Structure 1
Amino acid sequence: MPDSTAAGLPLIVSVDDHVFEPPDLWSARLPARYRDSGPRVVREVSGAAADPRADRVPVDVWCYEDVRIPLNSSFAAAGKGAAEVDGTPITFDAIRPGCYEVTARLADMDLDGVEASLCFPNMFVRFCGQRFLEARDKKLAKLCVEIYNDWAIEEWAGASAGRLLASPIVPLWDVDLARAEVFRNAARGVTSVCFSEIPAKLGLPSMYSGYWEPLFAACAETETVINLHIGSSSTTNKTSPDAPFIIHTSNHYGNSSLSLSDWLMSGVFLRHPTLKVAFSEGQAGWIPYLMSRLDGIWRAGNAFMGGDALPDPPSSYLAEHVYACVFDDPAILRFLDDGPLPLDNICFETDYPHPDGSWPNSRASAQAQTRTLSAEDQLKVLRLNAARLYRMERITADAAEPAR
């Protein structure tokens, strides 16, 4: 592992990375009666069979019920040049082993100056388990959720000596099952769970419906942080169907903005005073404007606008409940003194192995992002805020030790 004093920076605790689901994750664990319909990887050959001149390239494809999802190079960009990250179908042989093997991932973290990493699902499961929400057979889907979580907690995180943290998914189609899954995983020491940034966009009850109260109560009771990853509403902000992907990616924060507005104005934090949420990969530069706007409407007290929904300004709930996760947002770190989001609520991420990810240059990226901060504040943003939020006891205990 790199020297923690290299470049004057602490080792990083990344709050948003991803793990590729191994090809046998479900096929090796599901009951035999589900092997033919459950998730499994099949190696196929691309190219038009009718054209003997076409390239015949092997491709690994996730098959589940009637869904077929080829592996995509853009979701496994770590170690690839820009020209290789083109969205083409690939096989597991073409993926960096750190994407799905624990030992290789830890080695890649060592190269990058990352001590610990919170890991989300990747392209097949999707960022809050939408794949299983969309499945027809919900008994099988529930088994798939539980198998994924067992693997992520016991085998992926469990084999990492505390350096890899799982962010489990829940059966989104049933709040009581979701609540039970939170309790099941909290009993094993898990400190977070994935949820949709905007559940209504998945055809689920909205944040204002009251439907999700049992889940939120379970998270508050178990101190389980709710992770709201961009893209977990299965929607993107785009100007037109033919707009380049840079339009989608650079405007992802729009869903985070809508999501934070819902979390504040629905009064969830009033009903669950210990609940905490993290906007994974959402950045934070948009938060000061949004709070200014929401607070202004609240102060006007206009019932038609809903400005009378909270007893205190919306921004007053940020410090106790809301965490921002950044990797390319130097502006928010320059203007912390003037903003509503405390520095203690900002965490850093590397987004391994996605195209936006900073591997293997995360330390240089962290240095550039936090160069305006003091050494003490760098330590918070790059390490301690995340360790405290996700209750990484060894890291927080080390921080409490007096300097020698």
Structure 2
Amino acid sequence: MSANLPEQDATESGNSFGELPKIISVDDHVIEPAHLFERWLPAKYHDRGPKHVQTGIGELQYTGASYKITTDPDGPLADWWFYEDLRFPYKRNIAAVGFSRDQMTLEGITREEMRPGLYDPKERLKDMDINHVEASLCFPTFPRFCGQTFSEAKDKEVALACVRAYNDWMVEEWCGDSGGRLIPLIIIPLWDVDLAVAEIIRNADRGVTAVCFSEIPAFLGLPSIHTGYWDPFFRICEEREVTINMHIGSSSTMPAASPDAPAAVQASLSFNNAMASMADFIFAGIPARFPRLKLAYSEGQMGWIPYALERMDDVWEEHRAWAGVGDALPERPSFYFRQNMYACFFRDQHGVNSLDVIGVDNVTFETDYPHVDSTWPHTKKIAEEHLAGLDKETVYKIIRGNAIRMLNLDFDK
């Protein structure tokens, strides 16, 4: 069944701020086109690089925050990437827009069944127009939220070439002809901080202002942020004004209770990683050492932030003699949240009601296109309902102003 359903505009609703400003979404996603690595990876790596394959999908189960996936030539067709030992299929739950809620399953899907806006930049702009969205920042799918796919690869020479190929495609093809409406978001070679710094410089030189990173790199088997290993990366991002975007799940580990809990448990608790990461970064002293560094918690929501800040401030005040705070934080943790960090939400009425504590300058908005949580094509209506009663200036900041400042965009300048 095709996902190309009739286009719908969000309905107008009364509010206290007038017409909703055009949205700048700081968290959307792209399905990589089948030609990406054939076109952008140097030819000498083609035999060892990712290959697009369309074949049947076999058993696909979600158990305890991990997928069990098999191919089956006689099964329903799906589009895959084959890369080293990895077999990566696209599934309906990550290519969900245009399907009904009951159709957003773990079944495989081909690009022919997807809405073209998932992988075609010109069609994406049309879907953004339908949804009252002016600009969009898109996370990768096959490379995963911060490039874990290439970090886990055995052949790091090819992996580095894949990182660069993905970034070249992102900057030049996905975003290149969009008039700035598609905002480049790059990945880095996570396995080598010096290579990561070089990739930041290479892309900042061509105007890129956003990079993916893991919310908890230690979960990926990488050095933790407490070691100082990542300081050169943080330093170059601060110097070149590149925002570090950490998506939920970018640690390849989702919060869970029982090991056999259904996926609904992880989906309900996904904000926990953002909360843990925020405490980790603040108490590691990263914002204190890099006061102009910008950290964005993509799809982390925000209703949890008031208590998290209250508790961290209490620990800073009451537990500093034994809890490892030391002299790393001359200011309260809440100070560093407001100085360095941005929350991102799509549905969070409790968070909106807590803006006086969170801070109206630290909140951004998203549509999560094309995932199950996406509000497309009704994002305008949902935003108006969430923000009803707020003043015009606050709405502007949430819907676009804070994103412009966070990502150094040229809109409205």
Please report the TM-score for the alignment, with normalisation by the length of structure 1: 0.92
Residue in 2 that maps onto 1:36: 47
Residue in 2 that maps onto 1:270: 288
Shift of residue 350, structure 1, vs aligned partner: 0.3
The partner residue of 2:412 within 376, 396, 400 is 396
Instruction: Report the 3-state secondary structure (helix = DSSP H, G, I; strand = E; otherwise coil) of the residue aligned with 1:28.
Output: helix
Contact 1:202–1:233 (8 Å) recurs in 2: yes
Shift of residue 4, structure 1, vs aligned partner: 12
1:47–1:3 Cα change, 3 Å: closer
Aligned AA (2:255): N
Aligned AA (1:231): G
Residue in 1 that maps onto 2:228: 210
1:109-147 deviations in Å (ceiling 9; x for gaps):
00000000011112x110000000000000000000000
Contact 2:303–2:354 (8 Å) recurs in 1: no
Aligned equivalents of 2:12, 2:397: Cα separation in 1: 17
1:235-269 deviations in Å (ceiling 9; x for gaps):
00111233222211111111001100011001111
The partner residue of 1:113 within 120, 132, 152 is 132
1:259 aligns with 2:270: no
1:89 aligns with 2:108: yes
Shift of residue 206, structure 1, vs aligned partner: 0.4
1:3–1:68 Cα change, 3 Å: closer
Residue in 2 that maps onto 1:132: 150
Aligned equivalents of 1:171, 1:56: Cα separation in 2: 35
Residue in 2 that maps onto 1:385: 402
Q: How does 1:1-400 map to 2 (within 5 A)?
A: 7=13, 8-46=19-57, 56-122=75-141, 124-308=142-326, 309-337=328-356, 339=357, 341-393=358-410, 395-397=411-413
1:21-54 deviations in Å (ceiling 9; x for gaps):
1111002232334223211111113469xxxxx9
Shift of residue 372, structure 1, vs aligned partner: 3.2
Contact 1:220–1:274 (8 Å) recurs in 2: yes
Shift of residue 56, structure 1, vs aligned partner: 4.3
Residue in 2 that maps onto 1:51: none
Say which is worse superposed, 311-320 or 213-222, in terms of deviation.
311-320
Can you give the 5+ residue segments of structure 2 that lack an aligned partner in the other structure? 1-7, 14-18, 60-72
Aligned equivalents of 2:92, 2:306: Cα separation in 1: 35
Contact 1:13–1:116 (8 Å) recurs in 2: yes
1:6–1:211 Cα change, 3 Å: same
Aligned length: 388
Aligned AA (1:71): Y
Residue in 2 that maps onto 1:402: none
Aligned equivalents of 2:258, 2:393: Cα separation in 1: 44
**Seq. identity, %:** 49
Aligned equivalents of 1:5, 1:163: Cα separation in 2: 23
Aligned AA (2:242): T
Shift of residue 344, structure 1, vs aligned partner: 1.1
1:39–1:376 Cα change, 3 Å: same
Aligned AA (1:207): I
Aligned equivalents of 1:315, 1:5: Cα separation in 2: 38
Contact 2:130–2:377 (8 Å) recurs in 1: yes
Contact 2:10–2:379 (8 Å) recurs in 1: no
Aligned equivalents of 1:200, 1:242: Cα separation in 2: 24
Can you give the 5+ residue segments of structure 1 that lack an aligned partner in the other structure? 49-53, 398-404
Contact 2:10–2:381 (8 Å) recurs in 1: no
Contact 2:186–2:210 (8 Å) recurs in 1: yes
Contact 2:271–2:300 (8 Å) recurs in 1: yes
Contact 2:209–2:243 (8 Å) recurs in 1: yes
Aligned equivalents of 1:224, 1:218: Cα separation in 2: 8
Aligned equivalents of 1:232, 1:169: Cα separation in 2: 12
1:47–1:127 Cα change, 3 Å: closer
Instruction: Report the 3-state secondary structure (helix = DSSP H, G, I; strand = E; otherwise coil) of the residue aligned with 2:40.
Output: coil
Aligned AA (2:88): I
Aligned equivalents of 2:10, 2:348: Cα separation in 1: 23
Instruction: Report the 3-state secondary structure (helix = DSSP H, G, I; strand = E; otherwise coil) of the residue aligned with 2:37.
Output: coil
Aligned equivalents of 1:135, 1:310: Cα separation in 2: 37
Aligned equivalents of 1:155, 1:47: Cα separation in 2: 33
Instruction: Report the 3-state secondary structure (helix = DSSP H, G, I; strand = E; otherwise coil) of the residue aligned with 2:412.
Output: helix
1:353-398 deviations in Å (ceiling 9; x for gaps):
00001000100111122113112211110111111211111x231x
Aligned equivalents of 2:24, 2:10: Cα separation in 1: 12
